[in-house]
Structure 1
């Protein structure tokens, strides 16, 4: 149960759970209680935890030994002697490979990619043309709608003008009818009435009793005759 050796070097027969610290025959069949207990120090953490004081001490001691062995290791004299006897000779090194030919072999995949790029470019141009035509068509529709609106307004004005003409004709007929009524009926009636009033305004000798009344009656008769002309 001590640390510092591999599993195949362990002399313990049973396996140990690193979580609860229980020893069992087969870890695959182990039902762990999930209660952590270190097998090194007995504290409530896993046995492989770096918080364990025993594990910390072991790591410190191991690091110290490694550093000491590296600092006090003697130099390799054989390697140094070999380096001293090395003589540089250009013939010992191979020549660099010849440059590759500048003519590239025709790759079918590259040809297909070029064709695909050209097709995509054609599709892009076609879409741009369609977009331009669509914009023109929208402008045409908008203009046509505006023309229809103007045409509808002109038709409305024409209809209003026709209705106005009809109203004028109706009012003219109405005025003519009243004018005829006034000229043929009312004016003769007023003339007879004024004549009767003028006779009543005379004395036995035929002189007017009220000169102003006679003048007013004559003026009214003249005005009515002018209206009938």
Structure 2
């Protein structure tokens, strides 16, 4: 005996091995609904006839069992399956699911903001330390610049002192050599007053001129 799929209407030997195409087709009226659907006019007609028979049987005090068995043929494929039992667990409210997701997102945002705040505090501490170090470096540079200016001033003063001392020394030295050369020229005479070396005075004057030029 072949079995009939209630969805696609295909007849198979074993429903366990059947792969349904999921395309609904009624075996009674060939319309696009399941064979057991109440939309089918044939199923509606059977239901109406069955209801009428039941009402007739209820109206008689002694129902004719043979008549019922003769006229009514029960076929499970002609009737829709009973609805599945309701789950004992409460259905999940989509709004509550959305609220839970929103709470989780807010928690993630809070954690992210906490991390940002910690990083911001570290960055501010780094900036403060950098500014402090910059001030120290700037102060040291200013001190070095001031020391350089002081050294430069001292160098200029020392140079002036040296120039003054050199000029003074040169003047004293030239004056001393002039006196010395005059003394030598005075000693360059014999007892009669005649010069012993006639060119000595010229030589000494020439040395004195060269010395002044060199200085």
TM-score relative to the length of structure 2: 0.46
**Quick one: higher RCO (CA 8 Å, sep 6+), 1 or 2?**
2
TM-score relative to the length of structure 1: 0.43
